[in-house]
Amino acid sequence: MLSERELVEGCRNGERACQKALYDRFCKKMMVVCLRYSKSTMEAEDMLQEGFVRVFQGLKGFRHDAKLETWMTRIMVNTALNHHRKKLYLYPMVDIEDLDLLQHEISLSGVQFSQLIEMVQGLPQGCQVVFNLFAIEGYSHKEIAGMLGISEGTSKSQYARARMLLMNRLRNEGMYKPYGEAQV
């Protein structure tokens, strides 16, 4: 198996075998990233394809300051965000000032990954994007606001709304268990 440096150098030199090896090594992980930001598998596949085009174009500037996977994940997230920016006017984000932020932690034991992805995909577009950026990618609300061109308060309210919608769905499907409580 080639090292990351060998893969990158091979791709920079236009070696098809290295390009295929890089794609094969990371496509499943990057598909998971794209699925979190999409409403369907087909939409995620489009994001993945566009993201890999950007990865291959950007490898010339990759300096090995970070892990290759981390760098690629950031490209996939940015690709997904660009995809959503094109349609944000269809899904306006509303700043809900008086929304109670949920204080409950939940246990997701027994929830399969595919169920969780489906639940996240079922969120309204604005909630889905903010939830992924904050809860999964680890961006701050200030960073999210800058990335999406929204206020910090809108980011916070969209995240709170996403959590509320996810907890309601978990509760309705009998999978919600407040942290620390025994499952009945």
pLDDT, tens only, 119-144: 888 899 889 999 989 988 889 999 99
Amino acid, single-letter form, for residue 31: M
Residues 113 and 120 sit within 8 Å (Cβ to Cβ)? no
Q: Same domain, yes or no, for 100 and 149?
A: yes
Q: What are 178's strand-pairing partners?
A: 106
pTM (2 d.p.): 0.65
The structural domain count of the chain equals 2
Give residue 106's pLDDT band: very low, low, confident or very high (50, 70, 90). Answer: very low
CB atoms within 10 A of CB 151: 13
User: Is residue 182 in a domain?
Assistant: no
Q: Same domain, yes or no, for 14 and 72?
A: yes
User: Is residue 149 in a domain?
Assistant: yes
Residue 138 token pair: 């680890």
Q: Same domain, yes or no, for 64 and 97?
A: no
Q: Same domain, yes or no, for 82 and 8?
A: yes
Give residue 114's pLDDT band: very low, low, confident or very high (50, 70, 90). Answer: confident
Longest pairwise C-alpha distance within the chain = 59
Rg from Cα positions in the chain: 18
Q: Write the CA distances from 171 to 113, 126, 165, integer angstroms.
A: 17, 22, 10
- Write out pLDDT tens, residues 41-91: 999 999 999 999 999 999 999 998 889 999 999 999 999 988 877 665 444
The CATH number of the domain where 135 resides is what?
Answer: 1.10.10.10
Q: Same domain, yes or no, for 28 and 100?
A: no
Q: Same domain, yes or no, for 100 and 37?
A: no
User: Is residue 72 in a domain?
Assistant: yes
Running DSSP on this structure, what letter comes out for residue 147?
H
Domain of 73, in residue numbers: 4-86
